[in-house]
């Protein structure tokens, strides 16, 4: 069964700042990954082709890296899914487009887990990451993501904090 999931957010700001966010993934000064509320992304070496790691039980390695523009990961053998996922940023006339894509395959059992549990958590994690990118580029989040009821229930069931930290929003 196919898993194809895309998250995008267009954010006004500096391409140099956006590139630094992407290049900082999994570093001590990572300002993109929402480690305050989610399992931290960690690798066995700095972000580069061949770095192995992941977050939580999901294991993957960096198989392509274009500094400041693209980090492409391949899921490790032994995961419940096969394929890849990636972060990319693109400068447009309207701002910086942040994108994360999963393109993978799963057996029926893993696909059902994805549909009814993992997808909800994954989507919330990505939207939290894009909130952090927006803060880094603009100093605020215009429309902060909110965790859905399934995310709050799943986090409670998994004994994780069920409320995320508030991010700066525009003054009214």
Whole-model pTM: value is 0.90
Summarize pLDDT for 99-130 with one digit per residue, the tens.
999 999 999 998 999 999 999 999 999 999 99
What are the boundaries of each domain within the chain?
2-157
| Nearest-angstrom CA–CA distance, 5 and 58 | 16
Summarize pLDDT for 25-63 with one digit per residue, the tens.
999 999 999 988 899 999 999 999 999 999 988 899 999
In this structure, are residues 119 and 4 in contact, taking their beta carbons and an 8 Å threshold?
A: no
List the strands of the sheet with 81-92, edge to edge. Answer: 2-11, 95-106, 81-92, 70-75, 58-66, 52-55, 42-43
Radius of gyration of the chain measured on its C-alpha atoms? 16
Report the top-level CATH class of 2-157. Answer: alpha beta
């Amino acid at each position: 069964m196919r898993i194809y999931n895309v998250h995008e957010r267009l954010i006004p700001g500096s391409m140099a700042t956006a590139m630094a966010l992407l290049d900082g993934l999994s570093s001590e000064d990572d300002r993109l990954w929402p480690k305050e509320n989610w399992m931290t992304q960690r690798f066995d070496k700095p972000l580069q082709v061949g770095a192995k790691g992941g977050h939580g039980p999901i294991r993957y390695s960096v198989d392509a890296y274009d500094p400041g523009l693209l980090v492409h990961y391949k899921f490790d053998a032994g995961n419940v899914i096969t394929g890849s996922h990636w972060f990319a940023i693109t400068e447009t006339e309207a701002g910086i487009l942040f994108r994360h894509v999963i393109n993978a395959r799963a057996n029926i059992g893993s696909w059902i887990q994805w549909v009814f549990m993992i997808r909800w958590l994954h989507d919330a994690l990505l939207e939290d990451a894009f909130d952090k990118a927006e803060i880094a580029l603009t100093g605020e989040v215009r429309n902060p993501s909110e965790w859905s009821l399934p995310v709050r229930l799943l986090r409670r069931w998994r004994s994780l904090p069920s409320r995320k930290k508030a991010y700066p929003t525009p003054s009214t």
